[in-house]
Amino acid sequence: MTMSILHSLKGMATPELIAGVAGHLGESNDGISKAIGGIFPSLLGSMMGAKQEDHSMLSGLLSQAGNLGSANLVGNLLSGLTSGNNNAGIGSIGSSLVSGLLGNKMGGAVEMISQFAGIQSGSSSALMSIGGSLLASFLGEKMIGEGLHFGSIMHMITGQKDEIINAAPVGFASTLGLGNLFGNASAKVTDAASNLASATTSATGAITGGNDGDNKGGGMKWLLPLILLASIGAAAWWLINKDKNTNASAPTEQTTNSANGIPTSDATVNTTDTARVAADANKQNTAEPLIDAEKEK
């Protein structure tokens, strides 16, 4: 099973460390815990986006932290925070790591974590150094203890890219200048929100017929036309079905002969009479020659 870097780092932020930092900075334990939870993926993301020429510097810092070890790590961090002396030991390495990763993005990162966790900017800045120290200690010990190269550490981090992105504060890619690295994941969310907003606007415009600047009436402005259209449709349906029912129930006493305009019943009578007259005439024509023949005899 692959080790979760974020899970391991969060385990290093012990309740003792969180309570001590919160008490010194005047923040809540929840705020400090959330801030550290946002700092870890932000720094890991910055490591993935680090330039090739910075890898040697980062590798050196991790090696230093690994050689120091993690003995009394929490005590050293709290001591450096309360004394204001972070220029020695693991605190100094953590500060150098954060500065090397963020550079001129430091101010934006501090503000991002402050808003993410709901803490003061000064507290966020102090926590950056602590988060960097914990990260350097964890990765450094792993690199020294297991005899790994810095490339192996980077491969391990990039293998958990999705987990890191999901745990990071909203907007961290743009804040830290990592758009090229995490642009695809961020773009999907942005495009979805944009498409939803566009669809909603289009649907609203289609119903209301556009915004003419007069917003009076609220929802009734589009509800009344819908009611009117529904009423017209119902009336048209009733008229159509009324005509169908009338035609279906109408008596069929007479139909018109299409040839001469005479009602079918009359045409039948006339046809019968004509046939009778023709038959009588035929009888007469047949009888007369017979009579003449008898006379000649």
pLDDT tens for 149-170 read 999 999 999 999 999 999 999 8
The least confident of 19-28, 81-90, 98-107, 130-139 is 81-90
Residue 234 lies in a domain: no
CB atoms within 10 A of CB 57: 14
63 and 148 assigned to the same domain: yes
The number of folded domains in the chain is 2
Residue 66 lies in a domain: yes
Kindly tell me if the per-residue pLDDT of 67 is higher than 60: yes
CA 119 to chain centre: 29
Kindly tell me if the per-residue pLDDT of 103 is higher than 60: yes
d(CA 26, CA 33): 13
231: pLDDT confidence band, cut at 50, 70 and 90? Answer: low
What is the pLDDT at residue 179? 76
Residue 293 lies in a domain: yes
168 and 280 assigned to the same domain: no
**Tokens standing for residue 81:** 């925070």
31 and 159 assigned to the same domain: yes
Mean pLDDT of 209-216: 46
**Tokens standing for residue 264:** 């079918």
39 and 173 assigned to the same domain: yes
Mean pLDDT of 20-34: 97
pTM of the model: 0.62
d(CA 249, CA 18): 88
Kindly tell me if the per-residue pLDDT of 206 is higher than 50: no
Q: What is the mean pLDDT of the chain?
A: 75
What is the pLDDT at residue 5? 96
Inter-residue contact 56 to 63 (CB < 8 Å): no
Inter-residue contact 45 to 176 (CB < 8 Å): yes
Kindly tell me if the per-residue pLDDT of 44 is higher than 90: yes
Residue 58 lies in a domain: yes
More confident position, 288 or 230: 230
What is the pLDDT at residue 279? 47
61 and 167 assigned to the same domain: yes
What is the pLDDT at residue 1? 55
178 and 82 assigned to the same domain: yes
| Residue at a domain's end among 192, 222, 245 | 192
Kindly tell me if the per-residue pLDDT of 171 is higher than 80: yes
Residue 229 lies in a domain: no
178 and 272 assigned to the same domain: no
Look up residue 111 and give its amino acid: E
Q: What is the largest CA-CA distance in the chain?
A: 165
Inter-residue contact 176 to 189 (CB < 8 Å): no
133 and 267 assigned to the same domain: no
Give percent of the chain with pLDDT exceeding 70: 58
Kindly tell me if the per-residue pLDDT of 4 is higher than 80: yes
153 and 279 assigned to the same domain: no
- Which residues lie closer than 8 Å to 43 by C-beta, 6 or more apart? 97, 98, 101, 131, 132, 135
Residue 80 lies in a domain: yes
Whole-angstrom Cα Rg for the chain: 47
DSSP secondary structure code for residue 256 in this structure: B
288 and 143 assigned to the same domain: no
Q: What domain range is 290 assigned to?
A: 257-297
74 and 153 assigned to the same domain: yes
Residue 251 lies in a domain: no
Residue 99 lies in a domain: yes
292 and 171 assigned to the same domain: no
